[in-house]
Amino acid sequence: KNEVEQSPQNLTAQEGEFITINCSYSVGISALHWLQQHPGGGIVSLFMLSSGKKKHGRLIATINIQEKHSSLHITASHPRDSAVYICAVFPSGGGADGLTFGKGTHLIIQP
Amino acid sequence: EAGVAQSPRYKIIEKRQSVAFWCNPISGHATLYWYQQILGQGPKLLIQFQNNGVVDDSQLPKDRFSAERLKGVDSTLKIQPAKLEDSAVYLCASSPPQPSSYNEQFFGPGTRLTVL
């Protein structure tokens, strides 16, 4: 069974701090998805990656396939970054579309 | 391009009542997913459609939940009768028909259901 573990579960930081959220998974994957969920429920896709590193604005996502680990970094954090960040993986082998989700990391950035 | 549309955004019902949710995926997206997200947890897949056929409904509580995508475009998810533990956000997502081992999913805003 594929498990996706995120850490920390909750994180409160001051505006401007560098933020790191970690994701570990237990099976081989085709790709990993970082998602952002604001209060109210809607989910926005931040990154989908299968190797290396991607950067978009102040957000950076890295993945190490061999170690089954990914990190999401936020530089110069801002209160509007406050949200739940969810890691989801596409298991490899067999064309499955199904995502396995972590429980999310609840991030609060205080001004 | 327009995103995934869902309605209603919020719904409050009493237990044992029925409720239906609607989803319209992004135009041209063949695959449609319904997820249930209970507070404090990640989303759980309820059912996946490929066009108008069901690909995976293994986690759908079929005694009370049903879903259809008759014309392979929009979809409805129904709960009948609702239980207190059905209180959750119901998310719809769609993905395009790409020749890849994985498809990026695009999520709708969700419907927050409260069962009293």
B11-38 pLDDT tens trace: 999 999 999 999 999 999 999 999 999 9
Q: What is the rounded average pLDDT of the residues B87-104?
A: 82
pLDDT value of position A94: 45
- Three-state SS string across chain B, please? CCCCEEECCEEEECCCCCEEEEEECCCCCCEEEEEEECCCCCCEEEEEEECCEEEECCCCCCCCEEEECCCCCCEEEEECCCCHHHCEEEEEEEECCCCCCCCCCEECCCEEEEEC
Chain B interface, Cβ < 8 Å to A:
9, 31, 33, 37, 40-45, 48, 55-56, 89, 91, 93, 95, 101-112
Mutate to test the interface with B, among A43, A44, A87 (most CBs of B within 10 A): A43
**Stretch among A35-44, B77-86, B100-109 having the lowest mean pLDDT:** B100-109
Percent of chain A with pLDDT over 70: 93
Say if the Cβ atoms of B107 and A92 lie within 8 Å. no
Block residue for tokens 């299968």:
A50
* Residues in B touching A42 (Cβ below 8 Å): 107-110
Res. A95: pLDDT tops 50: no
* Other beta carbons less than 10 A from residue B83's beta carbon: 12
* Residues in A touching B110 (Cβ below 8 Å): 40-43
pLDDT value of position B99: 58
Higher pLDDT, A36 or B40: A36
Res. A2: pLDDT tops 60: yes
* A to B CB pairs, distance under 8 Å: 65
Block residue for tokens 């850490």:
A7
pLDDT band at A3 (very low <50, low <70, confident <90, very high): confident
pLDDT value of position A96: 46
Q: Which token pair is A75?
A: 């530089």
Q: Count CA within 13 A, CB hemisphere, residue A68.
A: 15
* Residues in B touching A86 (Cβ below 8 Å): 42-43
- Main-chain phi, psi angles of B102, to 5 degrees: -150, 145
Judge contact between B15 and B115, C-beta under 8 A.
yes
CA distance B116 to chain A (A): 19
Judge contact between A73 and A11, C-beta under 8 A.
no
Say if the Cβ atoms of A33 and B112 lie within 8 Å. no
pLDDT value of position A33: 92
**Stretch among A21-35, A57-71, B18-32, B94-108 having the lowest mean pLDDT:** B94-108
* Residues in A touching B31 (Cβ below 8 Å): 97
pLDDT value of position B70: 84
pLDDT band at B104 (very low <50, low <70, confident <90, very high): confident
pLDDT band at B107 (very low <50, low <70, confident <90, very high): very high
pLDDT value of position A31: 87
Considering only CB atoms, B45 lies closest to which of A98, A103, A104, namely A98
Running DSSP on this structure, what letter comes out for residue A50? Answer: S
Percent of chain A with pLDDT over 90: 72
Q: What is the rounded average pLDDT of the residues B56-70?
A: 93
Q: What is the rounded average pLDDT of the residues A47-62?
A: 93
Question: What CA–CA distances, in Å, run from A55 to A47, A71, A79, B59?
Answer: 9, 12, 20, 35
Say if the Cβ atoms of A40 and B112 lie within 8 Å. yes
Res. B1: pLDDT tops 70: no
